[in-house]
Structure 1
Amino acid sequence: MMAKTKIEANASAGRVLTITRLFNAPPALVFDAFSDPKRMLQWLGPRDYPASYVENDLRIGGKWRACLDSKASGEKLWHGGVYREIVPAERLAFTFAWDQADGRPGLQTIVSIDFEGKNGKTLMTFQQSEFDTPETCDGHRMGWNGAFDRLEELLAQD
């Protein structure tokens, strides 16, 4: 039994993304940046693929959708999902899937984001899982970290 558990745990190795960031803003402001489409347009996506479209229906079972546009090639990357958990200023959880060429959703992952207040700042713990390959996970790590760099700059302006 113990060996089976260990094998199952190793099967997920490299396919779960966890990012922790400390933002210089209170949890309510950081949560707002993740839930207000106007704010999301200002930071979602890395610098070379900024968001050009964001919509969301912020309620359990509500859908969200966004498009990232390549500055170099004009490629459009559509993606979306469904909200599963919403606790204002504390937690968000939703599904995430890139659109495939035929417009249908591809591999679905689950994103959970915890916002913890720390002396007027926010410790954000972001987790996305489970990816099909470690390479896909690494690609998302680069993309999300690029977006979070932009979010940090946005929050510094508030």
Structure 2
Amino acid sequence: METSKKVTVEATIQAPVEKVWEYWTEPVHITKWNSASDDWHTPIAENDLRVGGKFRSRMEAKDGSFGFDFGGIYDEVKLHEVIAYTLGDGRKVTITFNGHDNETKVIETFDAETENPVELQQQGWQAILDNFKKYAEQTTI
């Protein structure tokens, strides 16, 4: 499998960019939306949102059968615009936030890993983004 393959997922959230940014970056919110399916959850999220800062999310199956840490170090942070980071395995991720009025388009581009098919990775990341969209649109501050 090609290791330099870049994968993109995106969603348009019916919410202003300020709210989308807060829900995307605040650990209290991350633990509520960061899962690809209902049988998974994120019980722990830590986020030091600054260049050189670290983040970590503990993702686990709700039945306790499997879990892993997802984390990295921030390379770029532009308030309400861009977040870029390097994962622990060296892969790069860039997220852009394009806000206009009460709508924000979130675009994530990531380097595919080599253990799983690219299509499976894209489906998983899209499912998490879709879960974020649902959470951000249905939750009020």
1:44 positional shift: 0.9
Match 1:52 to one of 43, 46, 50: 43
**How far is the alpha carbon of 1:12 from its aligned partner?**
6.5
**Post-superposition shift, 1:66?**
1.0
Determine whether 1:149 maps to 2:130: yes
Q: Is the 8 A contact 1:65 1:79 kept in 2?
A: yes
Partner of residue 115, structure 1: 97
Residues 16, 131 of structure 1: 8 Å contact kept: no
TM-score of the two chains, using structure 1 as the length reference: 0.77
Aligned position for 1:95:
86
Match of 1:139 in 2: 120
Output the amino acid matched with 1:64. Answer: F
Distance (whole Å) between structure 1 residues aligned to residue 48 and residue 120 of structure 2 = 27
**Distance of 2:101 and 2:22 partners within structure 1:** 18
* Largest Rg, 1 or 2: 1
For residues 106-147 of structure 1, the C-alpha deviation after alignment (integer angstroms, 9 at most, x for no partner) is x32111011111342001111001533671x33321222221
Matched residue SS, 1:74: coil
Between the two proteins, what is the percent identity of the paired residues? 24
1:32 aligns with 2:22: yes
One-letter identity of the residue aligned with 2:72: G
- Where is the strand percentage greater, Structure 1 or Structure 2? 2
- Ranges in structure 2 where 5+ consecutive residues have no aligned partner: none
* Matches of 1:130 and 1:109, distance apart in 2: 8
Asked whether 1:85 is paired with 2:67, we answer no
User: Would the aligned equivalents of 1:16 and 1:128 in 2 still touch at CA under 8 Å?
Assistant: yes
Aligned residues: 137
Runs of 4+ in structure 1 deviating by more than 4 angstroms, as ranges, are none
Return the letter of the residue paired with 1:90.
E
**TM-score for the superposition, normalised by structure 2:** 0.86
Determine the C-alpha separation between the residues in 2 that align with 1:133 and 1:75.
17
- Give secondary structure in 1 for the equivalent of 2:136: helix
